[in-house]
Amino acid sequence: MVADAGTFSRPVTGTAAGVPYLALPPAAGDTPAPLVLGLHAFEPPRAEAALAGAVPMAPLPAWRVYLGLPLFGSRLPEGGVAEINRRGERDYLVELFGPVVEEAAAELRRVADELRRTFPLTDDPVGLTGVGAGAAAVLLALAERRLPVSAAAVINPIVDPALVIAARERRTGTPYEWTEKARQAREWLNFGDRVQEIGRDRVPLLVVSGGRDRVVPPEHGGSLHDALAEHLPEHALRHIVVPDLGHAIGPEPGLGPGPLTPAGVLTDRALTEWFHLHLTSSTQVRTGVDS
């Protein structure tokens, strides 16, 4: 049974389809509102509460529901963080990054369906946003049509997993072994080569790059934008660079909300404006745009 919107005035935590979430209610109004789903990163913000603090999109007249990634938080595997580290050391792409991105994308439809039975939501397609690996899951969901989407925004998206592997090699000093499975995983998650699939449904997409991102430098976001420009109308595609934003968009340990930096404020504002413009119109969203 869906509770009346007026009963929700504070953040709500819960689980939908086995996925932990933190939900922020619409900025105003007590009628059903659209849904925006958010996916965090491996780096800060690495939990749903931290992502909600980093990009709260407080003025948005929509439900913003931030989801925990597979293998994070309450969904750590047996063995906990030590097991996650072992998987990363054995094969970071095949045993950790790839499975998390795949499962996160696969869960979205089931989560959205259950949230519609819990919160007063419109029937509009969802909005999607994500950071880092969460942004990769958003791009995968678009490419593989995992669920109907009205608009999307990605922050420091891992457009090619080879970029993460290279950063890991620099940090650890250990070369990565590119096995056949690893090459297949890279091909599958190299979104620069999947722009036709990402753009075929003409979902408006905002790409936000951090000017200080050393893992996915801004030119990679720019390249994704330029490739998508052949498939999306000009008004439905934008790439912005936030000068002082790094790859991690929040402070360590990245499990809870931290103070917003100037770069964080700019990022949050960009996402808020994008979803104001492009979420499938409800009365609330139209009111928010026109005001």
Domain total in the chain: 1
So what's the pLDDT on residue 26? 94
Tokens in use for 260?
A: 């917003």
What is the average per-residue pLDDT within 205-230?
97
Cα gap 226→241, rounded to integer Å: 14
In tens, the pLDDT along 135-185 reads 999 999 999 999 999 999 999 999 999 999 999 999 999 999 999 999 999
So what's the pLDDT on residue 260? 84
So what's the pLDDT on residue 259? 86
Tokens in use for 29?
A: 């109004």
So what's the pLDDT on residue 30? 58
pLDDT band at 8 (very low <50, low <70, confident <90, very high): low
Cα gap 238→221, rounded to integer Å: 10
So what's the pLDDT on residue 287? 42
In tens, the pLDDT along 260-276 reads 899 999 999 999 999 99
pLDDT band at 288 (very low <50, low <70, confident <90, very high): very low
CA distances from 89 to 80, 82, 84, 181 (A): 15, 11, 9, 16
Cα gap 12→61, rounded to integer Å: 16
Q: Which residue range(s) make up the domain with 224?
A: 5-290
pTM: 0.93
pLDDT band at 3 (very low <50, low <70, confident <90, very high): low
At 4, the amino acid letter reads D
CATH number reported for the structural domain that contains residue 226 in this entry: 3.40.50.1820
Is residue 62 within 8 Å of 283, Cβ to Cβ?
A: no
Q: What percent of the chain has pLDDT over 70?
A: 92
CA R_g for the chain: 18
In tens, the pLDDT along 57-108 reads 999 999 999 999 999 999 999 999 999 999 999 999 999 999 999 999 999 9
φ/ψ of residue 154, rounded to 5: -125, 140
pLDDT band at 280 (very low <50, low <70, confident <90, very high): low
Cα gap 138→206, rounded to integer Å: 12
Cα gap 159→140, rounded to integer Å: 10
Tokens in use for 250?
A: 């929040």
